[in-house]
Chain A
Amino acid sequence: MKRLILSISLILCFLFFYLIGYYTPDLLDAKDEKNIPKAVKPISNDEDAMPTPLMVKKNNNNYKKNIGSFILLSSGAELFKELFQGDFLKNQGGFSKLESYFQKRFQKKYPTNEQAYQNEFVSRLGLLKAMGREYLIKNSYANKKELMDFYKNIALKKTEHFLVRRQALQNFSAWMKFLPEKDRLSILAKIPNRLLASAPKTEEEILKEIFHEEK
């Protein structure tokens, strides 16, 4: 019996100090932190690093304070973080307040550098996907005509990238139920086949199809 009590006491002691250890500030971290400065110098501020427009943009956080600059200029992971995890866009009200910025962004010519081109393409996709999210829809019923026209014009815009048009058409289709039948049919008659074929699918479905998941 004594042995049993002793064993249990030892285990409890171990567990007690295990928990203390678990919740105590990390010894190794504390040691490491002494060696690491509070902020690592950003590469773009290094004089030896290459100054490119991309770099300047990526480290300029001022547009976070301004919705217009944000919609017009932001790109990459930072843009996606704000769009899909932050409530930046959510708190801006309906589409009417943002329309001019979105219009400008989508009227801009694509950059000629291929990496910058792709960044812009991916950013436009992200913006459209975020705009299609419920919070912007819910805030936009009063301005549905403006929003519908915006999506429709991108979907029908020949010079816009096919996959961006596809996303705009997907967003537009959320609103097409409000169109009279004649208008609906007239728009469908103008949309290229492959846009119609791909718009009802999600990106996941398209990527699984292209990479032959179901084969």
Chain B
Amino acid sequence: MKKNNIISIFFICAAIFGFIFGNGQKKIGKRNPSSVHTVSLNSYDDLVCPSEVEYRNIADELKLDVPKDIVVCNDPIHGKLAKFLFMAKSLQFSFSPNWAPELQDDLKNPINYIAKMANKIGFDFSEKTAIAYNKRSTREVYLGGIFFIQDPLNALSVLVHEARHSSENDPGHVTCRLGDIPKTSGGCDEFFSINNENAGAYAYSAAFYAALGLYVGNLTKADREYVLSSAMGYIGTRFNQLPAELAQAYDIVSILDKNGNVYLLNPFSYEPIPMSLPFLRNDERIERIENNISNNGLLFFTSKNSLYTWDPNKGFSLLYKDLISDSMPIYDGARIRIPFDDYPYYNFLTADNKMYYVDFDAEQMKKVLKEYQIQINHEFPNPFIPKISRFFMALFGESFFQDKEGIFYRGARYADEVPFDRRSDLNLAGKAWVQGMGGVLFETLYGIANDGKLYRASIKVVEENEQTGEPDVKYIFSEASFQTALEKKAKKYIEGLNIRALLDERGGVSFESYDQKIHSFWNTDAFEVKDIAVFRKYQVTNNLFPDVMNKEKFIKQCQIRNSINDPWIGGGIGLDSRGFLIVGAAGAQTCLRVGNKKYRSLQINHFAMEQEKISDSDFNASLNTLSNPFVQSALELVDEQGKREFIRPYEYIQK
């Protein structure tokens, strides 16, 4: 063969192979569902139908019979199954290692899990009510007619749910008792769990949806909102007992003394109960305490510029210890929205006035620490950057920054705004701010000025901004209506779920209920209070201290004749043999007496809106269920003259 012919053959081969590979490459890209997550995974119209071979392979894996004489994608039953099972095959979860660790193996590859747990998948179109069911004796899953009108992601979650029923650890469904869902037999699981040993099928449904929303990248916005709402839907409607994190919550006030000791203030005896702080290094002490919205616990800022967090369930740990190194001295940390961004992140301020924030890296599917870089735009080429000392969220989504001179700045939201806006109406003439805060919902703006007064901003709409659609507003500060016990200068203001409190410069703490009907004051010479914070203790979480007395020990040791469980601290509350009100605590003083009055009887009372009383049986039956409407709980006492009185937490007036 001539040399030229050989070269020609080479070129022809190159051309043919080039065309085939090119055409095939496009096919791979188009048919790989993981690459098309910018289209909905929850619409049969958008899902790719696999080839006959691909579908029949998946069906074989699932022990699902597929008639030989059908064109799969043209079949009303198998066409749908093919689309969402093919989509399921491609799902890639990048889990945070601590998120429901015992369920991750089952959830990360749903097809494998369903195949492992079901001996067969069949159809039962005679089934009129259930979407699908698991014949547990044979571990066979049957799909009813309604299954095929479910949205694809819901259909997939149903299969995961039914697969869980094959597990020996599945506790099985029970009748819905007290939730909002009708009292349907088999409609609920008794409790929510994320442990493999006792998680029910509804917990798997909720977990699967939550995992999709949290750990699958590139979902469309609609799909993500749908799966997150559906996860909330399962958690909210399918458990007789809610997860602890959604149960009734109580305020617990924490105080810091001048020596760096931290105490929890008993809500009835006002006895400061010391917290053990074993994590502190030599010469390190707590300088400041704050509420941690992320875990409902506390933040501790130390003299060595470390930031720790604590909550009743998980104890102490360095905040974001995997991201923040020892060489990063932390001066402030809070969850705020950084200028020009929409979403709140945890932000940290370091000694050199740099700000860092915790972001979620979608590519790495993990949290990372990023330094905040101010956006430079042509309108503000050299933006002023204040020497920030504190920052906080307020006015729903706004972020405010306080500099070392006590000036407030508003963080920008739109590109045409100054990154840190020192507005004249945000600052009081001739005064400096000592503290700012955004209220229990971060929806308002309070500030304590160096005149010791608490101010609140009222917002007036000046005119609507044509460009942004937002109104231009004016902040007008006026003195807030908080009745303090003594005319001392205010130092810090906090808001809890039922109470708000003001620390004064002498270390006294004034409490006020939101209805402003009850006021109390706590002060003692034994403590020089430097700082206060409030956190949420959930009804169903553990005792606040490991050495809180159990109820039996409390009754015996404190000679209690009439006792109730203490949902605030743990342990018990009761009347002793003489009729004094006693609370059980921890540490040196285990039987704390509240006041000097004697009582005949004691019970816990739960108030719904407008002081509507809830019966004990209703309360006990619905402690952590969805039908729990309680605004707050109180002690109901009857004195020796038969007079009834209520003591709400932090509302007892110290005698």
Contacts and interface: CB of A to CB of B under 8 A. Distances in A.
Interface of A: 6, 9-11, 13-24, 26-29, 32, 35-37, 40-44, 46, 48-50, 52, 54-55, 58, 76-78, 80-81, 83-85, 110, 112-115, 117-118, 121-122, 125-126, 129, 134-135, 138-139, 141, 156, 158, 161-163, 169, 173-178, 180-182, 184-186, 188-194, 196-215
Given A163-B232, A185-B514, 20 more contacts: A17-B16, A17-B18, A21-B19, A32-B73, A44-B149, A54-B149, A113-B129, A115-B146, A118-B238, A129-B229, A163-B246, A181-B481, A185-B516, A189-B631, A192-B630, A193-B249, A196-B441, A206-B245, A208-B99, A210-B235
B233 A122 contact: yes
B341 to A, nearest CB: 14
B40 A207 contact: no
Give the residue among B14, B176, B184, B628 with the most A Cβ atoms within 10 A: B14
Contacts of B51: 32
A210 B243 contact: yes
Given A17-B19, A37-B74, A40-B73, A83 B497 contact: no
Contact of A156 (B23, B30, B396, B609): B609
Contacts of A173: 396, 441-443
A180 B151 contact: no
A40 B213 contact: no
B125 interface: yes
Given A114-B187, A192-B628, A193-B497, A17 B515 contact: no
Nearest to B495: A188
A115 B71 contact: no
Contact of A114 (B73, B210, B237, B295): B237
Nearest to A171: B396
Nearest to A127: B229
A177 B476 CA distance: 12
A17 to B, nearest CB: 3
A41 to B, nearest CB: 6
Contacts of B17: 14, 17
28 contacts: A13-B11, A19-B22, A20-B18, A21-B25, A24-B23, A32-B73, A49-B145, A52-B146, A54-B146, A54-B149, A80-B223, A81-B222, A110-B180, A114-B182, A117-B182, A125-B233, A129-B229, A173-B396, A189-B514, A190-B631, A193-B248, A193-B631, A196-B441, A197-B296, A207-B213, A211-B207, A212-B194, A214-B98
Contact of A50 (B10, B125, B629, B632): B125
Top 5 A-B pairs, shortest CB-CB distance:
A21-B22, A17-B18, A138-B469, A21-B19, A50-B145
Interface string B83-99: 00000000000001011
Nearest to A111: B182
B397 interface: yes
A60 B148 CA distance: 16
A204 B29 CA distance: 31
B1 interface: no
A135 B469 CA distance: 9
Given A114-B181, A200-B442, A214-B314, A121 B237 contact: yes
Nearest to B396: A174
B180 A161 contact: yes
B26 A22 contact: yes
Nearest to A49: B145
B27 A118 contact: no
A167 B236 CA distance: 13
A177 B7 contact: no
B76 interface: yes
B113 to A, nearest CB: 17
A134 B342 CA distance: 11
A141 B471 contact: yes
A20 B20 CA distance: 9
A26 B577 CA distance: 89
B229 A122 contact: yes
Given A85-B222, A126-B225, A199-B441, A118 B26 contact: no
A203 B74 CA distance: 38
Contacts of B146: 50, 52, 54-55, 115
B40 A81 contact: yes
Contact of A14 (B15, B144, B230, B513): B15
Contacts of A189: 513-515, 631
Contacts of B626: 161-163
Contact of B609 (A29, A80, A85, A190): A190
Given A26-B26, A193-B497, A174 B11 contact: no
Contacts of A141: 461, 464, 471
Interface residues of B, number: 127
Given A139-B469, A181-B456, A207 B22 contact: no
Interface in B1-56: 7, 10-11, 14-27, 30, 40, 42-43, 51
B351 interface: no
Contact of B221 (A58, A85, A113, A186): A85
Give the residue among B15, B96, B131, B395 with the most A Cβ atoms within 10 A: B15
B247 interface: yes
Contact of A197 (B22, B213, B231, B497): B497
B214 interface: yes
B551 interface: no
Given A177-B444, A189-B631, A122 B230 contact: yes
Contacts of B26: 21-23, 26
A107 to B, nearest CB: 16
A161 B22 CA distance: 54
Given A138-B469, A203-B228, A204-B213, A192 B246 contact: no
A103 B561 CA distance: 52
Contacts of B471: 141
Contacts of A49: 76, 125, 145, 148-149
Contact of B245 (A14, A54, A77, A209): A209
A123 B362 CA distance: 27
B644 to A, nearest CB: 21
B128 interface: yes
A173 B283 CA distance: 43
Contacts of B480: 181
B234 A118 contact: yes
Contacts of A50: 125, 128, 144-146
A192 B329 CA distance: 39
A42 B220 CA distance: 24
Given A114-B181, A214-B98, A174 B233 contact: no
A196 B100 CA distance: 26
Given A16-B18, A118-B237, A141-B464, A192 B629 contact: yes
B458 interface: yes
B440 A188 contact: yes
A198 B236 CA distance: 13
A77 B87 CA distance: 16
B396 A176 contact: yes
Given A174-B397, A189-B514, A207-B213, A129 B609 contact: no
B142 interface: no
A163 to B, nearest CB: 4
A104 to B, nearest CB: 20
B549 interface: no
Interface in B607-623: 608-610
Contact of B18 (A18, A182, A203): A18
Nearest to B23: A21
B153 interface: yes
A163 B443 contact: no
Contact of A204 (B100, B128, B228): B228
B487 interface: no
Interface in B481-531: 481, 497-498, 513-516
B226 interface: yes
